[in-house]
Amino acid sequence: MKIKTLSLKRFRNFKEMEIEFGDGLTLVLGKNGVGKTNLLEAIHYLGTLRSFRRAKEKDMVSFGEEFFEVKGKTDGLEIKVLWMAGKKNIELDGKRIKKVEDAFGKLLTVAFTSHDLFLIDGPPQERRRFFDMLLSKIDISYLSDLIAYRKVLKQRNALLSREEIKEEEMNIWDEQLIPLGERIVQKRRELLKDFREKVKNFFEVLSGKKLEIIYNPTFDPDKGMRGELLARREAERIYHTTLTGPHRDNYIFLVDGKDAKKFSSLGERRALAFALRLSEAETIREKRDEYPVLLLDEVIGELDRTRVYNTLKLVLSYPQTFLATAREEVLSTEGVNVIRIDTEDGTPVIERSY
C-alpha cells in the first residue's frame, strides 16, 4: 500500500498544500518547527482518523480557522476527511461514509514517534491503545466490538453512578458487555502468540537484551467474564464504576526479567518502543497481505549511530517509508526521494527532489 498524493487545507501550519509522493524511502528534511511532523501526522490521520500526537482535532486546525481538510490518494482509493465544528465528514472516492470503522485502515500506516516512549513509561491505557489500534487495523470486527463495548460500558457506568440500582437493569447491560469483553480479550491473547516473538527478536537486534511480554486481563479468559463481574458487584457499587473487563487490562514488558518501566535505561526503552512499532508493521503485512506506509518522525535523533544504520536496514525493504529528521548529516540523500521544508513568512515552503 502506498500514498500517491496528499492535499491539505487549514491543517496545522499548512494553509493549503498539494504534493505527490514517490516509492521507496522519502526523507523529509528541515529545521525544527517547519512542519515535518505535521506532514507525517496528516498521512497518519488519513489511515486512522486520529493524531499520533494524541491531539484533539480542534487543535489540528490552522490558527484562526474553523476547519481542516485532509485528502489523499492511495493505489486505488481517494480518501477525504473534512473536520468542522466537532464533526467529521469522511468520503471514500467521493462517497460519504457514516461509520468510522468503514474508513479506518483504508490507508495502512505505522508511525514511529518520540511519543512511543509512553508505551513503556505511561499508564496501562497507553499499552491497551497500542494493541487495540493494531488489532483494529488487521481485524475490522475487533474495532466494531471495541466501539460497541465502550458504548455499553458507558451506559453500565452511568447506572452504577445512581443511588439506587435495580439488579434487572444491571443484568441487561451485563448480557451485552460479557460477550463483547470476552471476544476482545480472546483476540488480544491470540495476537500475542506471534507478536511476542517478533518483538523479542527485533528488541534483541536493537539492544542485545532479552524481552518478555506479559498480558494481564482482569478475568481468566478460560473461565469467562461473568463470574468475576458478579464477584465484584458490591465493590462496583461502592466505586461507581465497572471494575472487570478489557478496559482495565494491562501489558507488562520485562527486559532481562525486570519491569522495563521501572528498571530499563532510556536507550533500552527507546529500542523497545521501536521494536514494538516494527512488529506492528510486520504483523499488518502478514495479516493484511499488504505493506503499511512507515512514518518515522525524528526517531534517528534518539538512537546512537549504530542503531541508525540498523534502523534503515530494517525499514528499507518496505515499498514506502517517510523519515523526517533535522539531522541531515547522518544520512545520505543519494538515490532516495527528498522533501525539504523551509518557511517563508511563517508559511511552509516545500521542495521535492525525486
CATH number for the domain harbouring residue 183? 1.20.1050.90
The conformation of residue 292, written as its DSSP 8-state character, comes to: P
The conformation of residue 59, written as its DSSP 8-state character, comes to: G
**pLDDT tens for the chain, residues 1 to 354:** 899 999 999 999 999 999 999 999 899 998 888 999 999 999 999 999 999 998 999 999 999 999 999 999 998 899 999 999 999 999 999 999 988 889 999 999 999 998 999 999 999 999 999 999 999 999 999 999 999 999 999 999 999 999 888 899 999 999 999 999 999 999 999 999 999 999 999 999 888 899 999 999 999 999 999 999 999 999 999 999 999 999 999 999 999 999 999 999 998 999 999 999 999 999 999 999 999 999 999 876 656 556 656 666 777 789 999 999 887 765 666 778 899 998 876 667 777 766
pTM for this predicted structure: 0.91
Shared domain for 209 and 94, answered yes or no, is no
Domains in the chain, number: 2
Among 245, 272, 288, identify where a domain stops.
Answer: 288
User: Reduced to 3 states, what is the DSSP secondary structure of residue 192?
Assistant: helix
Among 253, 271, 288, identify where a domain stops.
Answer: 288
Shared domain for 250 and 153, answered yes or no, is yes
Tell me which residue of 227, 217, 248 sits closest to 178, measured CA to CA. Answer: 227
Cα distance between residue 182 and residue 246, in whole Å? 8
Shared domain for 26 and 58, answered yes or no, is yes
Among 258, 288, 318, identify where a domain stops.
Answer: 288
CATH number for the domain harbouring residue 4? 3.40.50.300
Cβ–Cβ contacts within 10 Å for residue 230, how many?
Answer: 12
